[in-house]
Structure 1
Amino acid sequence: MTLTAKLKLCHNREQKTQLDQVTLAYRDALNYTSQKAFEMEKTSNAAKIQQEVYKTLRERFGLGAQMACSVPRYVGAAYKTLWTKVKQSKVARELNPKARRYKGLDNPPRFVSRTLSYQYQRDYSFKKGQQVSIMTLKGRLVLPYEGYAKHLEFIANGAEMGTAKLWYSKARKQYFLLVPLTIELSDPEPSSHKQVVGVDVGMRYLATASNTSGKTLFKSGKATLRKAERFLKARKSLQQKGTRSATRRLVMLSGRERRFIADTNSSLAVQILKTFPQAFIGVEELTHVRDRTERRSRPHSSEQQRKANRRRARWSYAELQGFLAYKAALRGSMVVKVDAHYTSQTCPRCGHCSRGNRPEKGLMFACESCGYQLHADLVGARNVGLRALLVRQDWASTGCLSCIPDVSDVETKVERLKRYSELRWSPDTSQRL
């Protein structure tokens, strides 16, 4: 498993000046290289870009040999990502002529953040006494650092390290070193998990979790979304004001909403893992969920629809699942993705699946066939848990952890949905409202 350790560098004013010089030079080198790559027919070939700009990066920007090599790789990776988005946009326009054309490659991408890459044992290395040596334009700089105790323990025990990033926080005027740590974990076994848990995510309830014994956890999103909405209103008001003091305030608020969402997701993941220790956890496969659920805003769309789209666009369910996955492995649990098809429309008691089971898409689930009633998000969590239980049973019987049958794409969905329709929740652990 690879974790990212965020190390706070304890620097004085003179040392910060040296760090400013190298980060600004690196950023200027990125923008220069980006312009050259754009002129070379928007190429993403790092080798060709390096051959064109390496000498200039050394002489004009004063970068070391290793940093002069990392700049073309960084720019090449950025162009490769943009070309991928262009291709995806082209496919989307073939399916829907009204889809917007991706304009990311109309102009050379610009790099604004003062972030640079350091190669381990070349540009940075760790010293005794909790110190790190990093490269600058004027040679090596040895700085003490602080960080999360668990990450410091991994570093002290010799965890494998990769390419780090020197990152500058404008709001705190502080430099951090982001170091990827690769640690070894024991291979999980089906018998090593004491319970099976399903997690359903949404907007009204950020997460609803339930195990097969009936234990539940609800995390309401009302107060959280209201606080996130305040960040949006404050940013909009300051942007409209446009004064120098408003601009300074905008810099201070920059990224605060993003950090708030990340902190909420991280805390929620820990809460789930503490409530259900040593668990086999199933989460929904939500790839491209916004494309399936959002309605495109039109000039005459209602304010309610536009507000709902903004909320969905701002919240990151993939981030929550990512936090849950890596924290689970450190706590003896495990996370797998299962199909999200019809989890909130299928009755866990009789298996009847219909949109009518969710009257007016409300919070109450009422089965049209057997009359079973329960909180709709809890029904979704239980269905996800049942599908995770099916994956675990297949793992125990075959020795292979996979939730995808060995059939073609169309047959795969039909085969899986057929198996899911046979799953039932024990009525002994269910309560009718």
Structure 2
Amino acid sequence: MQTVLTAKLKLNTTPEQFKALRTTQLAYRDSLNYVSQYAFAHGKMSNAVRLQDATYEEIRLRFHLPSQMACSVPRQVGASYKTLWTKVKNNAVHRKEGKTKKRYKGLDKAPKFISPTLTYQYKKDYTFKKEQQVSILTLEGRVIVPYTGYNKHVALIQRGAEIGASKLWYDKPKKQFYLLVSLAIETADPTPETHKQVAGVDVGMRYLAVTAMMQGDCTFHSGKQIVPKANHYARLRKRLQKKGTRSATRRLVAISGRERRLKQNTNHVVSKRIVLQHPQSLIGLEHLTDIRERTKRRKGKNAKQRKANRTFSKWSFAELHSMIAYKALLHRSMAIKVDANSTSQACPKCGHTCKENRPNKGLLFVCQNCQYTLHADLVGARNIAMRTLLIRQDWIGTGLLSVRAFCVGR
């Protein structure tokens, strides 16, 4: 079984190399926008082969991109249009079913690519050299740049990990280039015998994660100190954007990424703690697809409703789930998705499910049938753990993971 990691390598460039990489990035972005305009003008095409046949020569002539990059551009644009078409079709289905009245407008105009991040193909656009150096293709030819990175990731690159495509990313505030390299490493195939324990993870805003095991052990990972900081950055960004002056724009550039890095670092810390606390375990996570639509307040357009809707989009739970998933595989565990329906409203003792089990949607769970009382987030984690245990029992009996489970790390 393969696990894909992303190694972030800092490129230590000279002024000449920096200029060459920046010029290549901007040319790549301009070519993306040219192909996007062409695709929109010709029926919003998403077929990468047809786009390449129609635009390859013009990309080489106008933007002077090397051949492999000129092939990567139509593929990237085609993938973007496929994603937008999927959203359009899903929106049409939801409108027909009465789930929403809004029409998705993502294809009303040609998508514009703003980020200058470009894609490199391994052994074609870039290769690794000895002594921590990497050869990267630019418009002016190849440049050999020394790099530094996380020691374990550098060791994987040097010791034969399967290397895939990479992205050249530019950190504008720091004026620094990074190479984001995908690495595929082999991990042991999971079996019921190697995953002897079961754990459930419930995510939320008061507590970023609550874990529970069938033996009764539990752990709370509080967001009391982190979430207010993230909210502060969000409010500051909103005020500066509203002001719109040149000094406000400079300030926005200076603080850009702080909120994202704060959340990312917190998710790394929480996910690592969870995985290390549950070695060789089957870790159940909630299947949160469309959770914002399912939990969104739809009645009224007042300030209270808008504030409630913002609450559900303040933290990156999908990122936290993905970090738990890949770290679990590295520690001989595995994360799976289970049904998230009514996990915080169902009694783990008698099974009675109703909204009244959580008075005023607070932190206290009181079963209206058997009067079982417990912390509401812990109830959610225990229900997830029990659903994970059912999937493991099916796995033991049939030899296959249930179709109800979705293996996050595969």
In which range does the TM-score fall when normalised by the shorter chain?
Answer: over 0.9
> Where does 1:404-423 land on structure 2 (aligned, <5 Å)?
404=404
Q: Is this contact kept in 2: 1:206–1:221, CA < 8 A?
A: yes
**How high is the TM-score relative to the length of structure 1?**
0.89
Q: How far off is 1:277 after superposition?
A: 2.6
2:229 to 224, 227, 230: 227
Q: How far off is 1:66 after superposition?
A: 0.7
> Where does 1:74-113 land on structure 2 (aligned, <5 Å)?
74-96=76-98, 99-113=101-115
Q: How far off is 1:311 after superposition?
A: 2.2
Work out whether 1:402 is the aligned partner of 2:396: no
Q: How far off is 1:22 after superposition?
A: 0.6
Instruction: State the distance in 1 between where 2:56 and 2:376 align.
Output: 59
Q: Is this contact kept in 2: 1:391–1:403, CA < 8 A?
A: no
2:201 paired residue number: 199
Instruction: State the distance in 1 between where 2:279 and 2:304 align.
Output: 39
2:250 paired residue number: 248
1:38 paired residue number: 40
1:182 to 172, 181, 184: 184
Deviations 1:8-38 (A, max 9, x none): 1111211100101111111111111111111
Instruction: State the distance in 1 between where 2:272 and 2:71 align.
Output: 39
Q: Which has the larger radius of gyration?
A: 1
Q: Which amino acid aligns with 2:326?
A: Y
Q: Is this contact kept in 2: 1:197–1:385, CA < 8 A?
A: yes
2:383 paired residue number: 383
Q: How far off is 1:258 after superposition?
A: 2.3
> Where does 1:121-136 land on structure 2 (aligned, <5 Å)?
121-136=123-138
> Where does 1:53-68 land on structure 2 (aligned, <5 Å)?
53-68=55-70
> Where does 1:18-33 land on structure 2 (aligned, <5 Å)?
18-33=20-35
1:428 paired residue number: none
Instruction: State the distance in 1 between where 2:342 and 2:40 align.
Output: 45
Q: How far off is 1:376 after superposition?
A: 1.0
Instruction: State the distance in 1 between where 2:27 and 2:337 align.
Output: 43
Identity of aligned residues (%): 56
Seen in structure 2, the aligned counterparts of structure 1 residues 239 and 184 have a Cα distance that, compared at 3 Å, is: same
Instruction: State the distance in 2 between where 1:351 and 1:298 align.
Output: 33
Q: Which amino acid aligns with 1:135?
A: L
Seen in structure 2, the aligned counterparts of structure 1 residues 61 and 223 have a Cα distance that, compared at 3 Å, is: same
Q: How far off is 1:194 after superposition?
A: 4.1
Deviations 1:375-431 (A, max 9, x none): 1111111111111112112212221122539xxxxxxxxxxxxxxxxxxxxxxxxxx
1:350 paired residue number: 350
Q: Is this contact kept in 2: 1:297–1:306, CA < 8 A?
A: no
1:239 paired residue number: 241
Deviations 1:34-62 (A, max 9, x none): 11111111111112221222112112211
1:278 paired residue number: 280
Instruction: State the distance in 1 between where 2:207 and 2:252 align.
Output: 30
2:408 paired residue number: none
Instruction: State the distance in 1 between where 2:346 and 2:109 align.
Output: 48
Which runs of 5 or more residues in structure 1 are unaligned?
Answer: 406-433
Instruction: State the distance in 1 between where 2:314 and 2:104 align.
Output: 20
Q: How far off is 1:95 after superposition?
A: 2.3
The SS at the match of 2:210 is strand
Displaced runs of 4+ in structure 1, greater than 6 A?
A: none
Q: How far off is 1:282 after superposition?
A: 0.9
**How high is the TM-score relative to the length of structure 2?**
0.94
Instruction: State the distance in 2 between where 1:82 and 1:354 align.
Output: 37
Q: How far off is 1:340 after superposition?
A: 1.5
The SS at the match of 1:191 is coil
Instruction: State the distance in 1 between where 2:338 and 2:62 align.
Output: 53
Q: Which amino acid aligns with 1:369?
A: N
Which runs of 5 or more residues in structure 2 are unaligned?
Answer: 406-410
The SS at the match of 1:117 is strand
Q: Is this contact kept in 2: 1:338–1:403, CA < 8 A?
A: no
| Deviates further, 344-353 or 129-138 | 344-353
1:392 paired residue number: 392
2:330 paired residue number: 330
Deviations 1:74-124 (A, max 9, x none): 111111111111112212222238621111111111111111111111110
Instruction: State the distance in 2 between where 1:233 and 1:58 align.
Output: 44
The SS at the match of 1:41 is coil
Instruction: State the distance in 2 between where 1:272 and 1:53 align.
Output: 48
What RMSD, in angstroms, separates the aligned Cα atoms of the two structures?
1.7
Deviations 1:210-244 (A, max 9, x none): 11222211122333221111011111221222221
